[in-house]
């Protein structure tokens, strides 16, 4: 089996671990002082956290999982809400030349994760309320005062 690998930098491993355990719904397979790894089967993903200094607003736009239907978006959204993660809903939205149902969450370092289902293609890049097209296919901005219920710095 091929397994995609994503490695991201984080500033506080314990806060990030708390977030990603809730987000993935499972425990990590390895944890060290400055590193943690999750090896997921569904989806096939090797995801690691590395404690490193980094500049915010880097080249990463967002991460996400495409699911098989709106029901899966809603189920995962409910699980994330129950876990105390801030969730942004965008149902029946047109973005990236597709009509989609999606939800968004942000990890403690501001990385955006999208869970989405593509309902159909669209001739338009985006629709509805005017959006800055440079932000199309990017997550809605997290409120400046976002404080994760479970992930506050102590």
Top pLDDT among 28 and 1 is at 28
**DSSP secondary structure string for all residues of 94-115:** EETTEEEEEEEEE-TT--EEEE
Q: Which of 36-50, 65-79, 93-107 has the lowest mean pLDDT?
A: 93-107
Predicted confidence band at 3 (pLDDT cuts at 50, 70, 90)? confident
- Give the integer Cα–Cα distance in Å for 15 and 21: 10
Looking at the domain 1-51, which fold is it? 2,3-Dihydroxybiphenyl 1,2-Dioxygenase; domain 1 (3.10.180)
Q: Which CATH class is domain 61-141?
A: alpha beta
Predicted confidence band at 84 (pLDDT cuts at 50, 70, 90)? very high
pLDDT in tens, 124-134: 777 655 444 44
C-alpha dist (Å) from residue 98 to 76, 118, 121, 139: 21, 6, 4, 15
- Give the integer Cα–Cα distance in Å for 100 and 41: 25
C-alpha dist (Å) from residue 80 to 9, 72, 74, 122: 22, 12, 10, 28
CATH 3.10.180.10 range(s) for the chain read: 1-51, 61-141
Location of structure tokens 């569904």: 42
Res 152 pLDDT > 90:
no
pTM for the whole structure: 0.74
Location of structure tokens 């967002």: 62
Res 43 pLDDT > 60:
yes
């Amino acid at each position: 089996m091929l397994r995609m690998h994503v490695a991201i930098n984080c500033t506080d491993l314990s806060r990030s671990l708390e977030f990603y355990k809730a987000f993935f719904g499972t425990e990590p397979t390895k944890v060290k002082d400055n590193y943690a790894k999750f090896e997921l089967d569904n989806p096939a993903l090797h995801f690691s956290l590395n404690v490193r200094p980094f500049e915010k607003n880097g080249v990463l736009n967002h991460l996400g999982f495409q699911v098989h239907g709106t029901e899966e978006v809603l189920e995962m959204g409910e699980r994330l809400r129950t876990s105390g993660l801030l969730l942004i809903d965008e149902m029946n939205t047109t973005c990236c030349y597709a009509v989609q149902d999606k939800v968004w969450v942000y990890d403690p370092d501001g990385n955006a994760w999208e869970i989405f289902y593509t309902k159909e293609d669209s001739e338009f890049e985006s629709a509805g309320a005017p959006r800055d097209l440079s932000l199309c296919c990017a997550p809605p901005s997290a409120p400046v005062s976002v404080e994760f219920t479970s992930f506050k710095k102590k």
